[in-house]
């Protein structure tokens, strides 16, 4: 990969996912499941490949009256995982610098606005 | 669990010499040796780390993301 | 779809989206995984009694309903005493 080709701008939703390649991400899935792992690949369907994965499944007991009780979670680890895109609800980068760079952009744009005043 | 023999455009999967991970809970497939799984029922595919070149995947993903934008 | 072609004329077990298990001889299939089963039998799993075998005969199953097609090891299948197996029926498939 040429470094010139690597853009860090976020112009569309999938750019955020692109910036998370080889970084740890948190993913919310259908069926009360979440996974955390290092993102290695994705496509337009949101099919994903993750490594060093921890999956958490949230289980609840639902009574006859619909009352929810005994909420608990089970976790398991998987070394390399393909996740089918159908199940993906949300992808969240866990890396701090993305958030920081976001704030920095805002701060610098503030400065850009006030600098002409002198 | 089994040997991945083929995957098609729908991500339908052919697995050979399968083993059910929890046969006590799922004895329904005891006598099956090879199987075809419809892609649409798949949630995960677990694989050994050693079988995957992550750098290759990341480069290919970046390339595809770039191509899709054009 | 060539992945299924080796199963033709073999005993196969089909698991449907609603969790039903049907066993029969695979007579044919197409690209949508529509399949024809001859002499098919539904295997009803139950927690309270052994597996109930319900004869269904010649069936065409629409591919949309098929979750899995498995080639049966008939030698192994013959050694299994299904009347002694207790297991809840499979859940239907949903996300």
Q: Which residues contact C14 (CB under 8 A, 6 or more apart)?
A: C21, C22, C23, C24, C35, C37, C61, C66, C68, C69, C70
Chain B 17-36, residues with CB within 8 Å of chain C CB atoms: 18, 25-36
Provide the pLDDT confidence category of residue A2 given band limits of 50, 70 and 90.
Answer: very low
Q: Which residues of A touch B (CB under 8 A)?
A: 1, 5-6, 14-15, 18, 21-22, 29, 31, 38, 40-44, 47, 49, 51, 78-84, 86-87
Around Cβ C47, how many Cβ atoms within 10 Å?
A: 8
Task: Return the residue of A nearest to B51 by Cα.
Answer: A80
pLDDT at A116: 56
Question: Over its length of 70 residues, how does chain B's per-residue pLDDT go in tens digits?
Answer: 666 666 777 789 989 888 888 878 788 888 898 999 999 889 999 999 998 899 999 999 999 888 877 6
Distances in Å between the alpha carbon of A109 and those of A45, A67, C32? 34, 50, 55
Residue with tokens 């052994």: C50
Instruction: Count how many pairs of residues, chain B against chain C, have C-beta atoms within 8 Å.
Output: 73
Which of chain B's residues have a Cβ under 8 Å away from the Cβ of C90? 26, 28
Q: Is the pLDDT of residue A6 over 70?
A: no
Report the C-alpha gap between A29 and A37 in whole angstroms. Answer: 13
Task: Return the residue of C nearest to A89 by Cα.
Answer: C95
* Ramachandran angles phi, psi of A102, nearest 5°: -60, -45
Tell me the average pLDDT of chain A: 83
Q: What is the pLDDT of residues C48-94, one digit of tens each?
A: 888 888 999 999 999 999 999 999 988 887 888 877 878 888 888 87
Q: What is the pLDDT of residues A70-98, one digit of tens each?
A: 899 999 999 999 999 999 999 999 876 66
């Amino acid at each position: 990969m040429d470094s010139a080709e690597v853009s860090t701008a976020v112009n569309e939703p999938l750019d955020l996912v692109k910036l998370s390649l080889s970084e740890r991400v948190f993913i919310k899935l259908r069926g009360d499941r979440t996974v955390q792992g290092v993102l290695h690949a994705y496509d337009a369907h949101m099919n994903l490949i993750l490594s060093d994965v921890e999956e958490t499944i949230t289980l609840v007991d639902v009574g006859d009256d619909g009352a929810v009780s005994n909420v608990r979670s089970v976790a398991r680890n998987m070394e390399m995982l393909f996740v089918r895109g159908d199940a993906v609800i949300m992808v969240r980068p866990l890396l701090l610098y993305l958030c920081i760079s976001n704030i920095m952009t805002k701060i610098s744009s503030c400065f850009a606005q006030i600098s002409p005043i002198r | 669990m089994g040997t991945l023999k083929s995957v098609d455009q729908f991500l339908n999967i052919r697995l050979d010499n399968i083993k059910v991970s929890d046969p006590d809970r799922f004895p329904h497939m005891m006598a099956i040796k090879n199987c075809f799984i419809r892609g649409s029922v798949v949630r995960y595919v677990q694989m050994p780390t050693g079988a995957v070149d992550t750098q290759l995947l990341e480069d290919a993903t970046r390339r595809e993301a770039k191509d899709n934008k054009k | 779809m060539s992945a299924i072609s080796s199963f033709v004329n073999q005993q196969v077990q089909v698991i449907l989206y609603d969790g039903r298990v049907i066993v029969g001889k695979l007579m044919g299939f197409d690209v949508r995984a529509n399949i024809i089963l001859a002499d098919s039998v539904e295997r009803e799993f139950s927690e309270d009694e052994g597996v109930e075998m319900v004869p269904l005969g010649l069936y065409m199953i629409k591919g949309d309903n098929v979750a899995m097609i498995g080639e049966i090891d008939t030698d192994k299948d013959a050694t299994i005493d299904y009347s002694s197996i207790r297991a809840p029926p499979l859940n239907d498939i949903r996300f």
